[in-house]
Amino acid sequence: MNLLALDTATEACSVALQVGTAVIARHTVAGRSHTEQLMPMVQALMAEAGLGFAQIDGYACGVGPGSFAGVRIGVGFVKGLALAVARPVVPLSSLMLLAWPELTAGRARVVAAIDARLDEVYSAEYAWQDGHAVLQAPERVCDPQQIAPVAATPTPAPYVGVGSGWARYGDVLQSALGARALAIKAEALPRAEDGLTWALAQLQAGQGIDADALVPAYLRHKVALTLAEQRARKKA
């Protein structure tokens, strides 16, 4: 099966192509230039593999959470490609993409956090169980102080923290979790190739969706505070 995956939900622009068992990928920190960089990166992969878009059997797309603009760029791009050739799509959580390398490396507990601005983080906690990444609680946007453990226990399990939320709010997050951090990888960014295994399994099980049904996972519906909200925060 030939599978094309991408994620543009953060400052990273990441694309990957699986042809049979072979994988080729491109990854760059694009800042705000995803629109300019995405198509050339995909075209480079396709040329290297010697494939046309009609030969792609399915697509996988990071749907966020993350930058509103970045998420829209990726979702719109994949929708256009998949609709043109009537291929199924697998939505990928950008938080799961962050956690995946640590989970497959044997980490039992991974807490992914992306800086959501407005003094909040997008967060999710994952466990590795029976060879599968298992979401321990719904993905959400919250105050870093409210990123509580999934279940309160006398001795919370140690964890690995990944994502830009840890760069900005690391001390607050560690205090709120109340457990020992095995490692903090604040520089980690989602990589499209980390979604290939999951997406391939979904497609082979017939769990892909129509491109029309692909939607962003924003988790919230505003990108800035009103002036009144800003004043209220300053008074708090």
pLDDT, position 141: 95
When divided into structural domains, the chain yields a total of: 2
Same domain, 174 and 106: yes
Q: Does the residue 222 lie in any domain?
A: no
Q: Does the residue 44 lie in any domain?
A: yes
Same domain, 12 and 89: yes
> Considering the entire predicted model, what is its pTM?
0.91
* Cα separation, 79 vs 61, whole angstroms: 9
Same domain, 101 and 54: no
pLDDT, position 224: 46
Same domain, 70 and 111: no
Same domain, 20 and 84: yes
Q: Does the residue 220 lie in any domain?
A: no
Buried (b) or exposed (e) across 42-60, using 16+ Cβ within 10 A?
beebbeebeeebeebbbbb
Same domain, 149 and 137: yes
Same domain, 87 and 50: yes
pLDDT, position 236: 52
Give the residues across from 5 on adjacent strands.
16, 60
Same domain, 10 and 58: yes
Q: Residue 169 belongs to a domain with what CATH number?
A: 3.30.420.40
Q: Does the residue 221 lie in any domain?
A: no
* Cα separation, 129 vs 192, whole angstroms: 22
Q: Would you give per-residue pLDDT tens digits along the chain (236 residues)?
A: 999 999 999 999 999 999 999 999 999 999 889 999 999 999 999 999 999 999 999 999 999 999 999 999 999 999 999 999 999 999 999 999 999 999 999 998 999 999 999 999 999 999 998 888 999 978 999 999 998 765 556 677 899 999 999 999 999 999 999 889 999 999 999 999 999 999 999 999 999 999 999 999 999 865 544 444 444 544 55
Q: Which residues form the domain of 137?
A: 94-185
